[in-house]
Amino acid sequence: MSLPVKQLLSEEQLRAGVTRLSREISQHAQGRPLMIVGVLTGSVVLLADLIRLLDIPLRVGLVQASSYRGTATTPGELTINAELLPDVRGQDVVVIDDIFDTGHTLVGIMAQLESLGARSVRSAVLLRKAERCEVDLAPDYVGFDIPNLFVVGYGLDYNDHYRNLPYVATLDEDEL
Ligand code: IMP
Ligand code: MG
């Protein structure tokens, strides 16, 4: 698969953005250990880079979220698989995702973590398409606000391709 892509965020920009996220997250942690929860599969590149910049005690967990897109009139249904998640009871959790689009995925996962007994739940995303937001929640940490374009790379995919691009690129809409 090799459709034309156009670079939106360079490796240097991504490194600076992820470094800023790591500083904000460690400052808020105030010395308490964190449970960093990555949302599969899009967060894996960010997760790997971010945790190596966090010089604080932390544990790592994973959740899988799949949303079966509905039609234009029915919302997609979100399924959360928490089998890979360690015990979060009493933990200060930071959920990590690649992109905040409508926000439904993050809202669902944060509610699940709260119902599992987390002490606090914050969220960090690499990218946000602010104009697409459909929920009453803002991520606590945002790497970059981007326009409403379909993007790939640095973990983000189109049909599971392009996750390995070291930069973030837009895919030509006409090719989708
Ligand atoms: P939300 O529930 O609408 O916020 O959707 C978030 C999920 O949709 C992300 O974790 C991505 O998997 C996917 N997604 C949304 N926009 C894009 C994009 O531009 N490129 C790739 N995946 C996207
Ligand atoms: Mg995803």
176 residues of the chain, pLDDT tens digit each: 677 789 999 999 999 999 999 999 999 998 899 999 999 999 999 999 999 999 999 999 999 998 776 555 555 788 999 888 999 999 999 999 999 999 999 999 999 999 999 999 999 999 999 899 999 999 999 999 999 999 999 999 999 999 999 999 999 867 66
Q: 55, 98, 101, 172: which one is catalytic?
A: 101
> Rounded to whole angstroms, what are the CA distances from 32 to 57, 77, 124, 145?
8, 35, 17, 29
- Report the separation in Å between the CA atom of 150 and the middle of ligand 1, taken as the mean of its atom positions: 9
Could you tell me the pTM of the whole model?
A: 0.93
Residue-level pLDDT at 28: 95
- Please state the φ and ψ torsions of residue 43, each to the nearest 5 degrees: -90, 0
* Ligand of minimum distance to the alpha carbon of 5: 1
Q: Which domains does the chain have, with CATH numbers?
A: 6-175 (3.40.50.2020)
Residue-level pLDDT at 5: 85
Q: Please, which residues have CB within 8 angstroms of residue 86's CB and are 6 or more apart in sequence?
A: 35, 59, 61
> Is residue 144 in contact with ligand 1, taking CB distance under 6 Å?
no
Residue-level pLDDT at 175: 65
Residue-level pLDDT at 72: 52
* Ligand of minimum distance to the alpha carbon of 42: 2
